[in-house]
A and B are shown apart, each in its own frame.
Chain A
Amino acid sequence: MAVAGGTKWSMIRPFLVLFLLHTLAIYFFTRGFLLTRTELDSFSHCSDLAQSPCSLPFPNSPSDAPVKSNFTAGERPKDRGCWTTPSVDRLVIIVLDALRFDFVAPSTFFKDKKPWMDKLRVLQKLASEEGLSARIFKAIADPPTTSLQRLKGLTTGGLPTFIDVGNSFGAPAIVEDNLMHQLVKNGKRVLMMGDDTWMQLFPDHFNISYPYPSFDVKDLDTVDNGVIEHLIPSLYKEDWDVLIAHFLGVDHAGHIFGVESEQMINKLEQYNRILEEVVNVLKNQSGAGSLHENTFLIVMGDHGQTTNGDHGGGTAEEVETSVFAMSLKSSPTSISSVLDSDFCHPDLYGKRLCIGIFEQLDFAVTISALLGLPFPFGSIGHVDAELYALSARTWESEGTNTDGCEVLSDLAAWKQNYLKALCINSWQVQRYIDLYSTTSVIGLPLEDLYHVAQLYSEAQSSWSDTMNISCLHGDMGNNILDSLDSSFQQQIDAYSNYLRSVSKLARSAWTEFDLSFMGVGFIFMLISLGFHLVSIRRLSMLCQPYYGGMDVFGIRFSLVSAFLLVAIRAASFLSNSYILAEGRVASFLLSTAGILRLWCSISNWKFPTYELLLLFLNTIIRHGIVAGMLKETSGSTSLFTFYKFIFHTDEKDPMLIVLTYSLPIISLSILAIMISRFLSATSSRMCYRYILFIGTICSYVLISLHWVSEGGLMPSFTFLQYIGKNLAPRLVYAIGFGLLVPSVLSQFLVNGMKKSTENLSISALGLVSSWSSTIIILLGKQGPFAVLIFVSGAWCIVRSSRLESKRRDLGVLIIDPTTVIQWSLLAVCLFFYTGHWCAFDGLRYGAAFIGFDHFNIIRQGFLLAIDTFGVSHILPILGIPFIVILKLQNSNKRVSVDNIFLSLTQVFLIYGLITSTTTTLTIVCVAIQRRHLMVWGLFAPKYVFDAIGLLLTDVLILMASLYYY
């Protein structure tokens, strides 16, 4: 079969098919796996209440009109509240990070008594002795159960997902409407102490804050001691309305020592003492007119933890945490009919203790209702009846008796108040759902939306009737009171039913994986793998006439070692540790492959120059990867850190400054020399070669100019400075693009061009060198060295494989697969060497602004993509023809041109096979580990990077094959 014009397409077709298969696979898997939610930037305002149907039934009530006027005047709503009547004046929230449910609940609630139980005795005592004002809840968190996501969920009342599409990309600060925002907007003064995650989320919401660093997991006490230092004195002060104290010790003790450790028990006992003190201080000042007359205390966990101290996933141990709530004013005794008594056991002293169930989703809206704030816009929670009932003031009738409505019983008055809150709650949730489904990127399922809307309209239509009944009957007997009570209850049920279906819908959209979509994606991936294998096999059949003679042992050894290398690398993604250490694993495998080659070469009694050089280069790469992992700041390059690492100098060292400028420029010159040597070695296409040479040299000079001006070494010439800073990079991009155009044109227009090895090598060189300058300037000063390592490493890989091909011809494969695998491992190593890693904070955002000062999503995104994938995907794939060229050039056989292209296709296919095998295993591992604690921290970003890498590989191979054939 000859490769003439007609069969060009037959060689490209498999790449097209593979690209389509991979696109489908990634699309389906992503649909099922990556949960996305759009952040809306709308906020709730006090005045919004006028739009709600909830204020209608009280036309004469004094509680409405003043509220509105209050806010139009922009005054602080001291007493009347805003959406609901405030029933709590001051709020103390004590967050104990990673508080398991069984830390709080008495051990009688569990099958076995464990050493860590019953340590927070003070809470149990309060809950059982003062059941009218204090209660323990089992709180259910929504995964991902990490502190940051949970705090976000608690304050916004939403369900944070892996990708919250919004303006906060990169910075963690919450842009959605949230409890803190409402507190600040409505004039509440917030005091925060403890975990500094709060400061990241709410950078300027706190009046006073005492943040302590949370990143040092081994430090059990700094944060806690800091909080203790400020907590008790603050309780005597008047300068706050809401106090947040976030303790971290239990979380850290769990991470380091586990739940069953001495340290954990000590921490819990310490908390018990502190809580005792807090309760005492509050109680001492709870008399009428005192500081804490109407204070509400909440002690809560943000999430649980496993017995090993892990959290992040969705297992019962991780999502079950606890809330303890206490009001300093007792509610009337009829509260017992509101409080749920399904989950009761005798406590340690034999007294009956009941525990409520609380969804963390409901936290934001319940607290807002208690404080009389507008509910956060995106909250989908529902005002929790039990927590709401604990606050004594919710039992007071709202003075409706003056306008003819009867004096209601305690319970009926409470239900009326609660109903009003629920009505506003439902209206606010429906408003959010309506806006979300019209504006979000991926909306919610239509039939579910319809169902929810129907429930809402049913509930709202009966609202005014219910409220009117309460006022119509002037005096009434007991039976009418009963019917009133039951109609209130019906209305409450209607609202609760509606709110429950909304949260169910939201959970299914935002926290549940769609396994069938994931399965379909996986099946497409498997099909693509099969297609890969079949195509490689077909090509081998085509090639067999050219290469006779099979050495079964040689093939087997080569294939087995190649297969093992890929399999080990792919299987390593099952563990989060290996994903973290992926660069080192790749370098380990590259070394292993290199040592195997070295061994082969020694056993042939040849001096292994190239193999040794490759091992040496790999050692440099590995040190770069390790140094890159140590660095925290994105500004410094890994090369730079490497010097510091070796010589233990600081940045002021003059030697270091000289090195940081001279070494990149020296490596750049070496690269230029290499290109010119290679160009002068060929003889055809004179004109194109000159253009290529001049263009590359120009851009290298411009790159050097850019670095020198960036470094501020020539402060006086502002003009040069300007050229160097912004113009030079833009010129480099332009030249890079400009060089691509003649390459492509000459390839397509000059159709009669002889397809020869030499032509192929010039085309490949043109492509690689025109891309290289852009990639180098984006990578910064480490760029030339990284590219130099790539070029020399690639050279060594190809050279060292030559020996083997002389010894034995591989019958099945034209090209030894280990060469291709080394090539791809080298690419992976360089990805990590250049300071990237598979996480969004591993992107080098600075690179996107080289040559530009202003942000433009397309332009900057494009530059960032080139920086991220340049040295690990673009250069290696475009450089693949060199494997074939060098190998066939140096073998003694006369090789026909057709054969070159057949082997090129095969190498492309093998390279694609390697990438898709690792991606397939990534998909499998991500699917298996979807409930793992690091799924959002590690596995999901890894999946995103791999998926993009795979599609990019396909596109590049497709482009390259179009260009080269």
Chain B
Amino acid sequence: MDNGEIAVSKALALHLLCTLGLAAGFFAAGIAYNLSLVTDPAQTLSFLLVFETPIVVASYSFVRRDHDRPYWEAVSMALFGLPVGALLNALGAIVLGAPVGPKYWISTIYWSCLMSLFTFVPAVCVFGWSRMDWQRIIANSKPKQATDCLVSLPAQGAIVGAWLGAWPMPLDWEMPWQEWPICVTYGAIAGYIVGMILSTVFVHVMKNHPHVKDD
């Protein structure tokens, strides 16, 4: 069965875990070092990474499409995919106007790793290097399987959120959070959470109308 099918409860649990990972990251940074994204973005982002990476890699590898592949293979591919995705995200950000310079390198690297966790790593975990799946995801034709939703909606949410999050940056409010990459990170996380909620809803809808996928 189950090539690409997934229980609603499982999807919900997966998303909850990911959200908890982010929350735990923020919480730990706040408690242990009294850090927040605004006061020290780089450090806080590193905390988020420490908590979120294992959770995303472990949980998405668990729902991998091709269950014939061993679990460790999915995990190791995910760990390989993390820097690749980070590179793509960093390039995208720089093209869109992220500042370049010694002052920003560290936070850009951490930020793009986090974006990679939101976008690229789940896809690598679930699909491996299957060209068919990748093409379908990129072309964004109607999602045929539940796992597609699970991967693509949060990723799209994170990207759109980050894009929108860049808009307050040029305003003259002189708020500390208008610095790169603070508001972009907030936007990305907000978009990611919205995407996760949507994907849970979609998985639920697909379960109830299974014939939709035949069209």
Interface residues of A (CB under 8 A from B): 575-578, 580-581, 584-585, 587-588, 591-592, 594-595, 599, 602-605, 615-616, 618-619, 622-623
User: Given A592-B163, A622-B97 in contact, is the A584-B172 Cβ separation under 8 Å?
Assistant: no
Q: In the complex, given contacts A594-B95, A595-B92, A602-B138, what are 15 additional A-B residue pairs having Cβ atoms less than 8 angstroms apart?
A: A577-B170, A578-B170, A580-B172, A584-B97, A584-B170, A587-B97, A591-B97, A595-B95, A603-B139, A603-B140, A618-B95, A619-B94, A619-B95, A622-B97, A623-B100
- Cα distance A615–B92 in the bound complex, in angstroms: 9
A588 and B138: CB pair below 8 A? no
- Cα distance A592–B95 in the bound complex, in angstroms: 9
B140 and A615: CB pair below 8 A? no
**Taking CB as reference atom, which chain A residue is nearest B139?**
A603
A603 and B138: CB pair below 8 A? yes
Q: Is B48 an interface residue (CB 8 A)?
A: no
Q: Nearest Cβ distance between residue A452 and chain B, in whole angstroms? A: 43
B171 and A615: CB pair below 8 A? no
Q: Nearest Cβ distance between residue B105 and chain A, in whole angstroms? A: 15
Question: Residue B96 contacts which of A580, A591, A603 (CB distance < 8 angstroms)?
Answer: A591
Question: Residue A588 contacts which of B97, B135, B139, B171 (CB distance < 8 angstroms)?
Answer: B97
CB-defined contacts of B96 to chain A, threshold 8 Å: 588, 591-592, 595
- Cα distance A585–B100 in the bound complex, in angstroms: 17
Q: Nearest Cβ distance between residue B124 and chain A, in whole angstroms? A: 16
Within 8 A of A (CB), among B92-124: 92, 94-97, 100
Q: Is B74 an interface residue (CB 8 A)?
A: no
Q: Nearest Cβ distance between residue A367 and chain B, in whole angstroms? A: 37
Q: Is B166 an interface residue (CB 8 A)?
A: yes
- Cα distance A585–B170 in the bound complex, in angstroms: 9
Q: Nearest Cβ distance between residue B44 and chain A, in whole angstroms? A: 25
Q: Nearest Cβ distance between residue A287 and chain B, in whole angstroms? A: 52
**Taking CB as reference atom, which chain A residue is nearest B94?**
A619
A615 and B170: CB pair below 8 A? no
CB-defined contacts of A585 to chain B, threshold 8 Å: 170
User: Given A602-B138, A603-B135 in contact, is the A577-B95 Cβ separation under 8 Å?
Assistant: no
A605 and B166: CB pair below 8 A? no
User: Given A577-B172, A581-B170 in contact, is the A605-B92 Cβ separation under 8 Å?
Assistant: no
Q: Give 21 pairs: A residue, B residue, CB < 8 Å, sorted on A.
A: A576-B172, A577-B170, A577-B172, A578-B170, A580-B170, A581-B170, A584-B97, A585-B170, A587-B97, A592-B96, A595-B92, A595-B95, A595-B96, A602-B138, A603-B135, A603-B139, A603-B140, A604-B139, A605-B135, A618-B95, A619-B95
- Cα distance A809–B96 in the bound complex, in angstroms: 30
Q: Nearest Cβ distance between residue A41 and chain B, in whole angstroms? A: 38
| Number of residues of chain B lying within 8 A (CB) of chain A | 15
**Taking CB as reference atom, which chain B residue is nearest A934?**
B172
Q: Nearest Cβ distance between residue A593 and chain B, in whole angstroms? A: 11
**Taking CB as reference atom, which chain B residue is nearest A575?**
B171
Smallest CB-CB A-B distances: 5 pairs: A581-B170, A603-B139, A577-B171, A603-B138, A577-B172
Q: Which applies to chain A's interface (DSSP): helix, strand, loop or mixed? A: helix
- Cα distance A618–B171 in the bound complex, in angstroms: 22
**Taking CB as reference atom, which chain A residue is nearest B141?**
A603
CB-defined contacts of A588 to chain B, threshold 8 Å: 96-97, 166
Q: Nearest Cβ distance between residue B127 and chain A, in whole angstroms? A: 15
- Cα distance A605–B100 in the bound complex, in angstroms: 31
- Cα distance A47–B82 in the bound complex, in angstroms: 86
Q: Nearest Cβ distance between residue B175 and chain A, in whole angstroms? A: 12
CB-defined contacts of A602 to chain B, threshold 8 Å: 138
CB-defined contacts of A604 to chain B, threshold 8 Å: 139
B138 and A615: CB pair below 8 A? no
Within 8 A of A (CB), among B122-181: 135, 138-140, 163, 166, 170-172
Q: Nearest Cβ distance between residue A206 and chain B, in whole angstroms? A: 34
- Cα distance A868–B138 in the bound complex, in angstroms: 42
**Taking CB as reference atom, which chain A residue is nearest B174?**
A256
Q: Nearest Cβ distance between residue B206 and chain A, in whole angstroms? A: 21
CB-defined contacts of B171 to chain A, threshold 8 Å: 575, 577-578
Q: Nearest Cβ distance between residue A583 and chain B, in whole angstroms? A: 10
CB-defined contacts of B135 to chain A, threshold 8 Å: 603, 605
**Taking CB as reference atom, which chain A residue is nearest B170?**
A581
CB-defined contacts of B138 to chain A, threshold 8 Å: 599, 602-603
CB-defined contacts of A580 to chain B, threshold 8 Å: 170, 172
CB-defined contacts of A623 to chain B, threshold 8 Å: 100
CB-defined contacts of A615 to chain B, threshold 8 Å: 95
- Cα distance A884–B163 in the bound complex, in angstroms: 32
Best-buried of A585, A588, A599 by chain B (most CB within 10 Å): A588
Q: Nearest Cβ distance between residue A58 and chain B, in whole angstroms? A: 59
**Taking CB as reference atom, which chain B residue is nearest A602?**
B138
Best-buried of B96, B100, B171 by chain A (most CB within 10 Å): B96
- Cα distance A479–B76 in the bound complex, in angstroms: 111
- Cα distance A444–B163 in the bound complex, in angstroms: 51
- Cα distance A594–B91 in the bound complex, in angstroms: 13
B170 and A591: CB pair below 8 A? no
CB-defined contacts of A603 to chain B, threshold 8 Å: 135, 138-140
CB-defined contacts of A576 to chain B, threshold 8 Å: 172
- Cα distance A588–B164 in the bound complex, in angstroms: 11
CB-defined contacts of A581 to chain B, threshold 8 Å: 170
Q: Nearest Cβ distance between residue A580 and chain B, in whole angstroms? A: 7
- Cα distance A619–B105 in the bound complex, in angstroms: 17
CB-defined contacts of B163 to chain A, threshold 8 Å: 592
- Cα distance A604–B140 in the bound complex, in angstroms: 11
- Cα distance A591–B170 in the bound complex, in angstroms: 17
Q: Nearest Cβ distance between residue A447 and chain B, in whole angstroms? A: 44
1/0 per residue, CB under 8 A from A, across B45-60: the answer is 0000000000000000
- Cα distance A581–B172 in the bound complex, in angstroms: 10
Q: Nearest Cβ distance between residue B179 and chain A, in whole angstroms? A: 15
- Cα distance A580–B94 in the bound complex, in angstroms: 20
CB-defined contacts of B140 to chain A, threshold 8 Å: 603
Q: Nearest Cβ distance between residue B111 and chain A, in whole angstroms? A: 17
- Cα distance A602–B138 in the bound complex, in angstroms: 7
Q: Nearest Cβ distance between residue A942 and chain B, in whole angstroms? A: 15
CB-defined contacts of A616 to chain B, threshold 8 Å: 95
CB-defined contacts of B166 to chain A, threshold 8 Å: 588
**Taking CB as reference atom, which chain B residue is nearest A579?**
B170
CB-defined contacts of B97 to chain A, threshold 8 Å: 584, 587-588, 591, 622
Q: Nearest Cβ distance between residue B117 and chain A, in whole angstroms? A: 20
- Cα distance A619–B139 in the bound complex, in angstroms: 26
CB-defined contacts of A592 to chain B, threshold 8 Å: 96, 163
- Cα distance A576–B163 in the bound complex, in angstroms: 21
Q: Nearest Cβ distance between residue A267 and chain B, in whole angstroms? A: 19
- Cα distance A578–B169 in the bound complex, in angstroms: 10
Q: Nearest Cβ distance between residue B104 and chain A, in whole angstroms? A: 13
CB-defined contacts of A578 to chain B, threshold 8 Å: 170-171
**Taking CB as reference atom, which chain A residue is nearest B140?**
A603
1/0 per residue, CB under 8 A from A, across B173-195: the answer is 00000000000000000000000
- Cα distance A575–B170 in the bound complex, in angstroms: 10
- Cα distance A305–B161 in the bound complex, in angstroms: 37
CB-defined contacts of B172 to chain A, threshold 8 Å: 576-577, 580
- Cα distance A145–B100 in the bound complex, in angstroms: 38
- Cα distance A341–B166 in the bound complex, in angstroms: 56
Best-buried of A584, A595, A603 by chain B (most CB within 10 Å): A603
**Taking CB as reference atom, which chain A residue is nearest B163?**
A592
**Taking CB as reference atom, which chain A residue is nearest B131?**
A605
- Cα distance A599–B163 in the bound complex, in angstroms: 15
